[in-house]
Chain A
Amino acid sequence: MPKIMTKDLIKVYRAGKSEVIALRGLDMQIADGEAVAIQGPSGCGKTTLLNLIGGIDRPTAGRIEVDGTNIVDAADGDLVTYRRDKVGFVFQFFILVPTLTAEENVQLPMQLAGIARERQTRRASELLRLVGLQTRASHRPDELSGGEQQRIAVAVALANDPPLILADEPTGELDTKTGQEILELFERLNRDLRKTVIIVTHDDRVARIANRILRIEDGKIVREIPRGAVVAADGS
């Protein structure tokens, strides 16, 4: 059974009398433990799809099944729990709480889940080691570089050990070398921790870590490129 399945997914944004159709009956399946890249031109519906899968927005019509449960019908409170326990978000602009240290930022989702303090400290320490920033635990975001902040954001996303990681342009604000390091981090999450990873990106290097690339245009998946084809096309 696929981890995530969308069926006839439609999302219409309304602003006054005007309507923008972001998704036009999108169908998609992602298996457990897959790493999928979603690509397409600006305004094609990539981020909308990510938001809907992540439970921070609701579709106009259609189904989104995660582990066999249709989250479209979920109550607000259930969506909060879903976001907290099942999903880890990584944003383009990192968006960490500026007054909290790296360690405290990592602890925040665990605090929201009501996890005991000792366990939070232990887990935060493990995650900071995983992203290679154990020595920067007491630093605040403004004392860290962009790459370091994004690695902290990845650790934050992993805090409650969610099976699904959603990343929206995670390398968009980073230089080439740092972007590469972040992509390698996502590859490790997928390969070593068996996380299902969905990355929305314009960065073609993501193809190297993705099992598949879904190409979206005008709110629909127009092409699906499997890993073998990706690697062959890339030549590496």
Chain B
Amino acid sequence: MDVAACKPFAKNLYYVITRNLTRNPRRSANVALIIALGLAFGMFVYVTFASQLTTQEWQVRASIGADLAAFPPSFDEGFGANVSALPEVAGVTPFRTVPVPVPYGYAAVYALDPPTYFSVTQPEPWYFRGPGSAGAKAVLETPGKVLATEAYLREAFLTVGDRLTFRVDVYNDTGFQETLFVNVTIGGTVRGLPGTGFFGFGLPTAIYGSLETMRPILDSQSQPYYGSDRYLVDLKAGADWRSAKEGILALGAFEIQVAAEHLEALRSNPVFRALFGFIEMEIAFMVVILTAGLGLILFAATLERDVELAAVRARGASGWQTAGLLVGEAFSIMLIGMAVGVGLGVLTAFLSTQIVASGPGVGESLVPVAFTVPWEAILLVALAPAAMLLTSLAVALRVARMDIARVLKLRGG
């Protein structure tokens, strides 16, 4: 790696660099260690922090289900269509809580429209096992089939393929009218689905069916329970959620949950803001270390080698050849430090997220702890060589323009 990295700078003198690095590793190891520690710390902070933010975002979206959830006014059949017509809205899907007791244990029952539900909520892969999103959608699109969460199946000692019978007492204005039996088959299992309001520790116990499968139960109700009916809304990319919220409120919605608003509220917390500011300061400090600090170290290193470099120049090396040697050497050291630092930083960040996710006393959650490498971290990795190159170039320029005679201390005359 060293040889390939320093060749563009040192050209045919690259072997001088490789000999320097391999035969005097202590000198380069000091610089590489500083780079490695700086980058490891930066990567660790960036990755763990970004992972926390992603987890928080997943939790909010798991609870709300989409960019926005709107609870419609009573008896407004055209609410969904009116929301769809708003300019900020990309898609709308109805999501209803079905008021029915579940046999063999407790579970909430939801009815949804499979094609629009999956396009609006775009559930992450961790909601599913086995066949995934497409498989879950196919089950829901099959009349008479439902999805059950793993937690419910475990609790009720059921398995995929078992039949469930929902029993609903139907009332009219004069009182009890009849008992309705709706038979469904458990066609598949999921860990959960977005929009159920569940995101904390543990796994949800729920059953999901299509509006068509649940239609007999829904039609048996004279009117939906208060708050049981809602619409999940997908906003267009770059759309302003505030104007979308205003538009939906103007349509008569009595409650709106906005994922971006929740996240904004969470992140305007003074403790969170203080932590974020601290991290930014740390990163700024690290950039200073990577540039000015390393510049000083390189400067000191070249002072130590001034006589050697001056002798090389006296023996026929041009200023640029000598500068190329230094820049090539600095670049090689930086690559070694970067490989170690980035590896170490990402590894420790990964281990720390794993410990948070599955450490002692932590049960399984619907929303996993994310492991995200943010663009800032990638930018840091990309900028580190650039910063190091600029710094080493500045140092190398001094060597390129050195007063050879003075440096060689030929003061006998």
Which residues of A are in contact with B by a Cβ distance under 8 Å? 22, 40, 42-51, 54, 56-57, 76-77, 80-81, 83-85, 88-89, 91-93, 95-100, 104, 108-109, 111-114, 140, 156-157, 159-160, 168-169, 200, 216
Choose from A40, A81, A112 the contact partner of B315 (Cβ within 8 Å).
A112
Which residues of B are in contact with A by a Cβ distance under 8 Å? 12-13, 15-16, 19-20, 23-24, 307-308, 311-319, 321, 403-405, 408, 410-413
| Minimum C-beta distance from B413 to chain A (A) | 3
Chain A interface SS verdict (over half): mixed
Residue of B with least CB distance to A117: B12
Among B307, B312, B315, max chain A CB count under 10 A is at: B315
Which residues from chain B contact A91 at a C-beta distance below 8 Å? 311, 408, 410
- Assembled-state Cα–Cα distance A108/B19 (Å): 12
| Contact yes or no, B405 A56, CB < 8 A | yes
15 of the cross-chain contacts (CB-CB < 8 Å) are A22-B413, A46-B412, A47-B410, A54-B314, A56-B313, A95-B307, A95-B311, A97-B308, A99-B16, A104-B19, A112-B13, A112-B317, A113-B316, A168-B410, A216-B413
| Contact yes or no, A83 B314, CB < 8 A | yes
| Contact yes or no, A50 B404, CB < 8 A | no
| Contact yes or no, B318 A80, CB < 8 A | yes
Which residues from chain A contact B316 at a C-beta distance below 8 Å? 80-81, 83-85, 109, 112-113, 160
Which residues from chain A contact B411 at a C-beta distance below 8 Å? 43, 47
| Contact yes or no, B12 A200, CB < 8 A | no
Which residues from chain A contact B20 at a C-beta distance below 8 Å? 99
| Minimum C-beta distance from A109 to chain B (A) | 5
3 closest A-B pairs (Cβ-Cβ)? A84-B316, A47-B413, A95-B311
Known contacts A44-B413, A46-B413, A114-B12: does B317 contact A51 (CB below 8 Å)?
A: no
Which residues from chain B contact A49 at a C-beta distance below 8 Å? 413
| Minimum C-beta distance from B177 to chain A (A) | 96
| Contact yes or no, B413 A108, CB < 8 A | no
- Assembled-state Cα–Cα distance A92/B183 (Å): 101
| Contact yes or no, A200 B412, CB < 8 A | yes
Known contacts A47-B412, A98-B308: does B315 contact A89 (CB below 8 Å)?
A: yes
| Contact yes or no, A108 B312, CB < 8 A | yes
| Contact yes or no, A111 B13, CB < 8 A | yes
Among A46, A81, A97, A160, max chain B CB count under 10 A is at: A97
